[in-house]
């Protein structure tokens, strides 16, 4: 992100803000965005020196070309397939040309309803698993170039994937 010339980096779907804080500790001008007011409250409580705001990745309220980098770690899993192209369109819009995008998500097919969150807290959200090739195709259609991808724990019952892409000029 420093190579991109410096500037703000958005952690979209930041949850409790752990990754945002880690980036900040590395010297990155990171801020978090999350749809859940509870997650934003936790993030602000745990990391009061950082910026966290409520927002939706399906209607990302950030100015055009306002961030030098964007990451979405395991937050895209809560977006249904039909909304992913819209999300990637917003990611492209808010990223500066050439800006990096880092995505992490569950690999698989289909969706399931999750009724218990981390720590046993009740919840009612759908979790969508996707094939990396499909996510890469959506990214290309939205104007990104895929630079790298990695499958994480392919032998686990729910493997993960990380895709690194860059916004085309």
Domains with residue ranges and CATH for the chain: 2-167 (3.40.50.150)
What percent of the chain clears pLDDT 90, i.e. is strictly above it? 80
First to last CA, the chain: 17
What span, in angstroms and rounded, lies between the C-alpha atoms of 159 and 154?
5
Q: Which residues 6+ apart lie within 8 Å of 162 measured at CB?
A: 102, 103, 104, 149, 150, 152
The DSSP symbol for 86 reads H
What span, in angstroms and rounded, lies between the C-alpha atoms of 77 and 30?
22
pLDDT at 4 over 80: no
pLDDT level of residue 44 (50, 70, 90 thresholds): very high
Predicted local confidence at residue 155, as pLDDT? 81
- Is-above-0.85 flag for pTM? yes
Reading phi first (left if > 0) and then psi (alpha if -120 to 50, else beta), residue 145 is in beta
What's the pLDDT tens digit per position in 85-142? 999 999 999 999 999 999 999 999 988 777 666 566 666 677 889 999 999 999 999 9
Could you give the angle at the alpha carbon of 57 between the alpha carbons of 51 and 58, nearest 5°? Answer: 150
């Amino acid at each position: 992100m420093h190579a991109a010339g410096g500037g703000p980096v958005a952690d979209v779907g930041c949850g409790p803000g752990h990754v945002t804080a880690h980036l900040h500790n590395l010297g990155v001008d990171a801020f978090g965005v999350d749809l859940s007011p509870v997650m934003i409250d936790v993030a602000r409580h745990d990391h009061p020196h950082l910026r966290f705001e409520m927002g939706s990745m399906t209607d990302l309220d950030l100015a055009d070309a306002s961030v030098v980098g964007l990451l979405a770690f395991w937050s895209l899993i809560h977006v249904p397939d039909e909304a992913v192209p819209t999300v990637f369109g917003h990611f492209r819009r808010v990223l500066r040309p050439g800006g990096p995008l880092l995505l992490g998500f569950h690999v698989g097919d289909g969706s399931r309803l999750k009724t218990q969150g981390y720590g046993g807290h009740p919840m009612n959200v759908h979790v969508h698993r996707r094939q990396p090739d499909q996510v890469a195709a959506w990214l290309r259609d939205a104007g990104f170039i895929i630079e790298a991808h990695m499958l994480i724990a392919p032998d686990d019952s729910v493997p993960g994937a990380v895709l690194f892409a860059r916004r085309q000029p």
